[in-house]
Amino acid sequence: MSVANILKFKGTNVVTVQPSQSIRDAVDVLAKHRIGAVVVTNEAGAVKGVLSERDVVRHLAQESNAGFDQPVSRAMTERVVTCGLHDSIEEIMEMMTRGRFRHVPVVEDDRLVGIVSIGDVVRRKIEAAELEVVAMREYIATG
Ligand code: AMP
């Protein structure tokens, strides 16, 4: 199963914020959309970073309440690991395990075209396992 297949099910919408927006704005966006991370893009739509709930927690632990008014660029991770539409679900799992993160933005021709979260990966893996069980049962029943 490829990233393109995952996006076919979940859609290509990606929630983004800009580096100059406040951490407070980003927290509101995370809460409103019930998500764990936002991709940080500039006005041209290029990926500049990723801000996850872990970054927010770390930032606020260091800066206290004043941290809310600081820009997203102060807390985000700048070196973002991205994937392409043709990457496989196994490659994404490998990236997440090695990098210890749960979100991978999908980029094609320098354009952000989707995001895969650990939840998407687990959902697809469970579906594949369930299909395998059905196929095995049929195989046994017809044997
Ligand atoms: P997460 O597990 O995705 O909530 O993120 C854990 C940490 O990894 C945070 O510091 C994120 O900014 C960072 N992070 C999340 N996704 C990525 C990614 N695709 N590439 C690099 N760092 C990331």
Q: What is the pLDDT of residue 15?
A: 98
| pLDDT-derived band at 87, boundaries 50, 70, 90 | very high
pLDDT exceeds cutoff 80 at 112: yes
Q: What is the pLDDT of residue 128?
A: 86
> What percent of the chain lies above the pLDDT cut of 90?
88
**What average pLDDT does the chain have?**
96
The pick from 47, 50, 62, 115 for probing ligand 1's pocket by mutation, whose C-beta has the most ligand atoms within 8 angstroms, reads 50
Going from the Cα of 132 to the center of ligand 1, the distance in angstroms, rounded, reads 32
Contacts of 4 (CB under 8 A, 6+ apart): 85, 86
pTM (two decimals): 0.91
Strand order in the sheet with 47-52: 16-17, 37-41, 47-52
Q: What residue type is assigned to position 107 of the chain?
A: V
Q: What is the pLDDT of residue 142?
A: 84
In the chain, the number of structural domains is 1
pLDDT digits (tens, 9 = 90+) for 13-58: 999 999 999 999 999 999 999 999 999 999 999 999 999 999 999 9
pLDDT exceeds cutoff 80 at 143: no
Q: What is the pLDDT of residue 60?
A: 98
pLDDT exceeds cutoff 80 at 102: yes
Q: Could you say which DSSP state residue 67 is in?
A: G
Please report the atom of ligand 1 found closest to the CA of residue 49: 12
Q: What is the pLDDT of residue 129?
A: 87
Q: What is the pLDDT of residue 103?
A: 98
- Asked if residue 55 has its Cβ within 6 Å of ligand 1, the reply is yes
Residue range of the domain that includes 33: 3-142
d(CA 7, CA 93): 16
Q: What is the pLDDT of residue 97?
A: 98
Residue 17, domain CATH: 3.10.580.10
